[in-house]
Amino acid sequence: MASQNSLGQIPEQKRVGMVSLGCPKALVDSERILTRLRADGYAMSPDYAGADVVLVNTCGFLDSAKEESLEAIGEAIAENGRVIVTGCMGEEAEVIRARFPQVLAITGAHQYEDVVEAVHEAAPPSQGPFVDLVPQPTDQMVKLTPRHYSYLKISEGCNHSCAFCIIPQLRGKLASRRIDAVLREAEKLVAAGTRELLVISQDTSAYGVDTRHEERMWKGHPVRAHMTDLARELGQLRTPDGATPWVRLHYVYPYPHVDAVIPLMAEGLLTPYLDIPFQHASPKVLKAMKRPANEARVLERIRNWRAIAPDLTIRSSFVVGFPGETEEDFQYLLDWLEEAQLDRVGAFRFEPVEGAAANLLPDPVPEAVKEERYARIMEVTERISAAKLAAKVGRVLPVIIDEVGEPDEDGDVGATGRSQADAPEIDGAVYLRDVPATLAPGDVVEVEVEDADAHDLFGVIAALK
């Protein structure tokens, strides 16, 4: 007869720790890995000490990111000792093993099955006599973001061959998810409390190209795997209290069909926000970069978009110091920015990436020149941003709350949120004073803007929504 201990107790769950580095797409990979592991009976550990094994999801896009990944692996080994590495830098297993031979296993980006198998080998799941009778939460995603916003990844990989990028080598060619699967995930996230969906991929505008924009049935009607169909359907979602969730489009290349989503923003069905990685403006540099969608009419299209949706926010990123970039090319970029008046801009000094075609281009730009150009572009974009934010003083804007502070010595409570012009982690914030004690993260409130600086807004709640 079996003992009470063998039948009367469910064995303690094995615990997995996770360190997730890099972009939001890697964060979604981490969520999916942890969701699968939880369905297999694992628990999550918030620290190194309590983990039976630690996963490090790495970034391998730039040398600086690789070094950060190696440091994270080293820290996990020092603090725990039992480490599995996954993610983009997993493609350079020999580099990782040369520095950390004690790593238990290494897998590449979005290789979910391989990661789960490696965890099973390193820390076999606890299977007691009752474990298989317990319903496993396979439909409930583990979230690494706050409850009120979620990343919605619509595809993997990329078909472009940009000279400075190795994403196709790391993550493969474009592989779009089924449109009905994407919409089902979005619906579940919103039903579970998500108030803001952030649509991500390597190239959101190319969604469905690889599947020839195949149709699937959704809510009784056919929808294509196409950015415009996806945007229209996401705009029909409603939160449990009947509100329209914010839907934010990231990594959008300015293909002609992007024009079709702007009216949805004007109607309030999509958040009036586009994240477009322009990277440069000089035709000569763009050609050297092998960038897609290089067309002379971009400025005209931006003006047309803003005529339709006046509150449209455009965020972008630019590379300075690309091989062969002359002072004339750089001045062309600055002049373009003055005309485009983009709302949010990030700039990066060109950095060679192992395996990228740009490394072989002639006329590298000296580091001192890169630094000088970086300082100049940041001065221009900061001035534009300050003027745009100053123009919002006196307006009432919807703001989603991210964090509510503790009362100060006078009992006043402050909060931090974001307007529709601000994506989490990468854009500015809205700082609120004298908020009610009942305010909570995820609430959407109307805020009267009282002040602004170059990056952030400051205000007070005008009315609770």
Tokens of 97: 């093993």
pLDDT at 128: 46
Q: Are residues 162 and 233 in the same domain?
A: yes
- Host domain of residue 385: 149-390
Q: Are residues 359 and 417 in the same domain?
A: no
Same domain, 335 and 424: no
pLDDT at 463: 64
Q: What residues of the chain score a pLDDT lower than 50?
A: 1-9, 128-139, 465
Is 21 among the domain residues? yes
Q: What share of the chain is helix, strand, coil (3-state, %, to 5)?
A: 35, 20, 45
- Helix (H) or strand (E) run with residue 346 in it: strand 344-349
Residue 169 shares a structural domain with residue 308: yes
Is 141 in contact with 31 (CB distance < 8 Å)?
yes
374 and 233 share a domain? yes
Task: State whether 129 and 82 are in the same domain.
Answer: yes
Are 205 and 317 in a shared domain? yes
Query: pLDDT tens for residues 43-77?
Result: 888 889 889 999 999 987 777 888 899 999 999 99
CA dist 101 and 103 (Å) reads 6
Per-residue pLDDT, 134? 41
Residues 313 and 405 in one domain: no
Q: Tell me the pairing of strands 221-224 and 215-218.
A: antiparallel
Whether residues 264 and 300 fall in one domain: yes
Query: How much is the pLDDT for 281?
Result: 93
Look at residue 138 and tell me if it is in a domain: no
Is 140 domain-assigned? Answer: no
CA-based Rg of the chain, rounded to a whole angstrom?
24
In angstroms, the Cα distances linking 408 to 294, 413, 414, 416, 417 are 52, 7, 9, 15, 18
Domain containing 407 — which CATH number?
2.40.50.140
Residues 50 and 107 both lie in one domain: yes
Judged on CB neighbours under 10 Å (0-12, 13-18, 19+), 95 is: middle
What integer pLDDT is reported at residue 130 of this predicted model? Answer: 42
Cβ–Cβ < 8 Å for 394, 447: no
Can you give the pLDDT at residue 258?
Answer: 93
Residue 222 lies in a domain: yes
Q: Are residues 102 and 235 in the same domain?
A: no
Based on the fold, state whether residues 370 and 449 are members of the same structural domain. Answer: no
- Number of folded domains in the chain? 3
Asked which of 107, 133, 159 is the last residue of a domain, the reply is 133
DSSP one-letter string for 34-69? HHHHHHTT-EE-SSSTT-SEEEEEE--SSHHHHHHH
Last residue of a domain, one of 390, 421, 439: 390
Phi, psi of 155 (to 5 degrees): -160, 170
Q: What pLDDT does 435 receive?
A: 94
**Paired tokens of 222:** 């056919």
Tens digit of pLDDT for each residue in 133-152?
A: 444 444 466 777 788 999 99
pLDDT at 6: 44
